[in-house]
Amino acid sequence: MWLMRGAAIFCCCALAACEQPAPDNTAAPETPAAAAPAPAPAPAGMPRSAPPAGASVYIVSPANGATVSNPVRVVFGLKGMGVVPAGIERDGAGHHHLLVDTDLPPLNLPVPADDRHIHFGGGQTETELTLSPGSHTLQLLLGDHLHVPHDPPVVSARVTITVQP
Ligand SMILES: [Cu+2]
């Protein structure tokens, strides 16, 4: 009896830094450490999937340097990967995000959703934009089922267009 309590107290102190005395309970489990593994450290970002080798995304139109009128039709191109709606997890596939007048977002997190980061979670491969007159940049970034870019990211060249008044 005393031997068991002594062992339990020693064990508790060794593992729990003596924050509390061991409960006076001789039925305590003998191996508390096995029941409570330490939580994993928080990851620096979301898990990212690898794209197929040679996969690439590109803007079919408008061409870099083009002068265009509203509405601006943007056509997405993708080689070596498939397009699936958001929420569907499939290797070698993802959905498009169109970045308008902005740099790439953090690549280890879901792509933000706002008017500069437009999601095409339905699996769309083109869109029409209404942009203010002047110069704008467009860039495509593929995301996985959770909107997280692949590693390495599947990202297009950035095109600059001029929208006529
Ligand atoms: Cu998305």
CB atoms < 10 A from the CB of 117, how many? 19
Interval 52-93: pLDDT, tens = 999 999 999 999 999 999 999 999 999 999 999 999 999 999
Same domain? 138 vs 106:
yes
Split into its structural domains, the chain has a count of 2
Burial class (CB in 10 A: 0-12, 13-18, 19+), 34: exposed
- Please tell me whether residues 25 and 98 are part of one structural domain: no
Q: Are residues 120 and 80 in the same domain?
A: yes
Residue 86 Cα to ligand 1 midpoint, Å, equals: 6
| DSSP single-letter state for residue 66 | -
Confidence band, pLDDT 50/70/90 cuts, at residue 45: confident
Are residues 73 and 150 both part of a single domain? Answer: yes
Dist. CA 96 → ligand 1 center (Å): 7
The DSSP bridge pattern shows strands 126-129 and 82-83 to be unpaired
CA of 23 to the centre of ligand 1 (A): 51
Please give the Cα distance from 99 to 126 (Å, whole number).
Answer: 13
| Ligand 1 centroid distance, CA of 132 (Å) | 24
Residue 39: what pLDDT?
A: 60
Count CA atoms closer than 13 A to 130's CA, side-chain side.
0
Residue 113 Cα to ligand 1 middle (Å): 8
Specify whether 77 is located in the same domain as 108.
yes
Residue 13 has pLDDT above 50, yes or no: no
pLDDT of residue 35: 54
Backbone angles phi, psi at 67, to 5 degrees: -105, 125
Q: 143 and 99, same structural domain?
A: yes
Q: Using CA atoms, how far apart are residues 150 and 153, in angstroms rounded to an integer?
A: 5
Q: How far is the CA of 141 from the centre of ligand 1 (A)?
A: 9
If one compares 107 and 39, the residue with the highest pLDDT of the two is 107
Beta bridge partners of 77: 58
CATH classification of the domain holding 118: 2.60.40.10
Distance between Cα 33 and ligand 1 center (Å): 41
Q: How far is the CA of 65 from the centre of ligand 1 (A)?
A: 27
CA 16 to mean position of chain CA atoms: 36
Tell whether the model's pLDDT for residue 5 goes beyond 60.
Answer: no
Per-residue pLDDT of 104-145, as tens digits, reads 999 999 999 999 999 999 999 999 999 999 999 999 999 999
- For residue range 24-35, what is the model confidence (pLDDT) as tens digits? 444 444 544 455
C-alpha span between 81 and 59 (Å, rounded): 15
pTM of the model: 0.74
145 C-alpha vs ligand 1 centroid, how far in Å? Answer: 7
Residue 51 lies in a domain: no
pLDDT at 21 over 60: no
